Structure 1
């Protein structure tokens, strides 16, 4: 993975310590997982949408990074509508498929909840440099440096995997073996990428061990990771979003605590 683009790195959200972004994503996600209702998910989604204006992502970057979520959320909701638990008046029925008022409301709630949980997580971490995240995990959360640096090295390899996949496809086509059935081609190419990834991972692990990354001696960090006012403000905003979503659902009478 490469460093953030200048327009993203200079945004207000990108300058906040990644640990604060992680805390906000966890707070919002856990809150929305406590209830399945339209009101809490809608309120959280609207407030999160306002917060995303300070992420630094332009429209094209936003839609590209969140496109899988926009496809997955309606699919999850549609599945719930068609095959979820029936309750209320029957709206549509065909064979094993039945749509009732209850399943329709549940499907809408699931769709909104997936969006409200996924959007802040995707956008917040799209504005996070992997090295900054590793610095925060090691210095603020005090996680083992061996684990943190190993994870950082793996994240840095993602960009290379994309290049390797493209190069493998071109090489197979040049040898005349890239015209097989699409599923066969994907399977064989994925296996080749797996072998390449294992070899590269072994070499990388050996190199890191040789450079002392596996030592038990407490290590120093090149860049200090600070946690101050901007981080507290962002976490406070996350708490306000979670509290507003719960309060609105309780006042509207739609709060449905899943553990009851």
Structure 2
């Protein structure tokens, strides 16, 4: 007698990766909007710490995490460096030369800016790394009730990005085979960009005609091949994003560092 074994439940990371794409979008919105409205070290630091603790459960391996987020880790300190050198001067001045003035206030502002960039950019990159464009389009049209014509057009344009990269590499190889890409790097880039622009316009026109011929722009309600469901798990995920934002805001308010950037003065 063969014993039937129940398959183990999927890992938490897998379940998070399978969540509705709209839930991830809403979680990012409720998490980042409070951070956009303030510029202080505490709220950004608390939010970043909580996000780093939750990232292992996002369904993205550490190798993929670093490959996708290295540019954020590189640009955030550069942003802070710019603020430290040229930001608003306040408190004790540590160094001054020409237009560069490093002060106590500019350093605090630089640290807050760097943490803020990391806290806003990292969850956006990590969560959308596991989002399929078609699933996102289904969710936008069926859950958020956005116009189908707009959603399908945006999806078709997003699907063309990969083809543009292939076209760029094909143009580069073709120009090299003709011996016109050996010198003049700026001139070569401008020529290839113009050629790609012409090619993209032609391809976009053909795609629009093909979609119209297949009834994508027809009036009235349309059917969808896959149903986009938004259930309890998705609401809990959005609530988790709101909870992280609430803890960050509450921490900044209790410590007196909350700095509403849209306020007077």
TM-score by length of 2: 0.92
Cα distance in 2 for partners of 1:133, 1:178 equals 39
Q: 1:67: Cα distance to partner?
A: 2.3
Matched, 1:100 2:103: yes
CA contact (8 A) 1:80 1:107 kept: yes
Q: 1:68: Cα distance to partner?
A: 2.3
Q: CA RMSD in A?
A: 1.5
Q: Which runs of 5+ in 2 are unaligned?
A: 1-9
Corresponding residue for 1:200? Answer: 203
Deviations 1:166-213, CA, capped at 9 Å, x for gaps: 111111111111112222121111111111111111110000000000
The structure 2 residue matched to 1:216, chosen from 214, 219, 230, is: 219
Corresponding residue for 1:137? Answer: 140
Cα distance in 1 for partners of 2:166, 2:86 equals 41
Q: 1:130: Cα distance to partner?
A: 0.5
Corresponding residue for 1:241? Answer: 244
TM-score by length of 1: 0.94
Deviations 1:211-230, CA, capped at 9 Å, x for gaps: 00010121001111001111
**3-state SS of paired residue (2:15):** coil
Query: Which of structures 1 and 2 has the bigger CA Rg?
Result: 2
Corresponding residue for 2:125? Answer: 122
Q: 1:103: Cα distance to partner?
A: 0.3
Runs of 4+ in 1 over 2 A off after TM superposition: none
Cα distance in 2 for partners of 1:161, 1:11 equals 31
Cα distance in 1 for partners of 2:143, 2:114 equals 35
Cα distance in 1 for partners of 2:52, 2:167 equals 35
CA contact (8 A) 1:12 1:54 kept: no
Cα distance in 1 for partners of 2:234, 2:164 equals 33
The structure 1 residue matched to 2:165, chosen from 137, 152, 162, is: 162
Corresponding residue for 1:54? Answer: 57
Cα distance in 1 for partners of 2:62, 2:214 equals 42
**3-state SS of paired residue (1:255):** coil
Cα distance in 2 for partners of 1:113, 1:204 equals 40
Corresponding residue for 1:3? Answer: none
Corresponding residue for 1:230? Answer: 233
Q: 1:59: Cα distance to partner?
A: 2.3
Deviations 1:117-148, CA, capped at 9 Å, x for gaps: 00111111111000100000110111111000
CA contact (8 A) 1:80 1:106 kept: yes
Matched, 1:45 2:37: no
Q: 1:60: Cα distance to partner?
A: 2.4
**3-state SS of paired residue (1:128):** coil
CA contact (8 A) 1:36 1:258 kept: yes
**3-state SS of paired residue (1:12):** helix
Cα distance in 2 for partners of 1:100, 1:113 equals 20
Deviations 1:46-103, CA, capped at 9 Å, x for gaps: 1111222122222222122122222221121111111111001011111210100100
